[in-house]
Amino acid sequence: LDGKIATKTGDSRWVSSAASRRRVHERRAQVDAILTAPGTVAVDDPQLTARDAEGMPLPRQPMRVIADSRGRTPPTARLFREPGRTLVATAGDEYHMPFKDLGGSVSVVSLPDEHNRVDLKALLRHLGEAGVMQVFTEVGEVLLGSIFDEGLPDQAMVFIAPKVVGGAQALGPVAGTGVDRIGNAPALSHVRIDRIEDDVLIEGAFRWWDGAEGQAGGV
């Protein structure tokens, strides 16, 4: 309820209910790729697969994509052993070595921007050229902040659990630069609200602003 995604110690299991997590797996099975970050992989060691209620992988699996500028993702991470393909995007060929021996289902690409970080727009273009049309992001506050700063999200799927975490050092969902004025904040339209057990799911499409209050810009 207070917008936190983890406690001040980093504990985040589980904020939402099992029913909400099942809904996420349903959505994973519908998209082409899941984008995550090395910090999320290191802390949570997620599988990032689409699974049924018994925890078994579904026939259709999204590609797992890691935006990892410096090659910090542990090569022992579970997601490298899961069914389906994995793509690691780095900021340079010198960061490819940890992933060289992970098998044919793991590929690595260099997509640096002017700050020697992964160029997120170039990554989306690369994925589009590979036939990936829908990317589902499951990331921490740093990468999600960068995604918003770049004006990239089209839609949001936000679960709110009836819990209050508190703590000035507890993590929120979006970091980055952010906006200076509320009037320039990206806002959801066509909002849908659903109750999943005691959780609330809010979905919608983003409206983006071109810098002048009241003037909508496109993605």
76-103: pLDDT as tens digits: 999 999 999 999 999 999 999 999 999 8
How confident is the model at residue 98, as a pLDDT? Answer: 93
C-alpha distance from residue 134 to each of 31, 32, 35, 103, 166 (Å): 5, 5, 10, 25, 34
5-52: pLDDT as tens digits: 999 998 888 899 999 999 999 999 999 999 999 999 998 899 999 988
CA nearest neighbour of 120 among 141, 105, 137:
137
Distance CA 132, CA 4 (A): 31
Q: Is the pLDDT of residue 210 over 90?
A: no
Distance CA 160, CA 111 (A): 34
AA letter at 197: E
Confidence of residue 209 (pLDDT cuts 50, 70, 90): low
CA nearest neighbour of 83 among 100, 104, 105:
105
- The secondary structure element, H or E, covering residue 86 is strand 86-90
C-alpha distance from residue 22 to each of 54, 55, 93 (Å): 10, 10, 37
Collapsing DSSP to helix, strand or coil, 119 comes out as coil
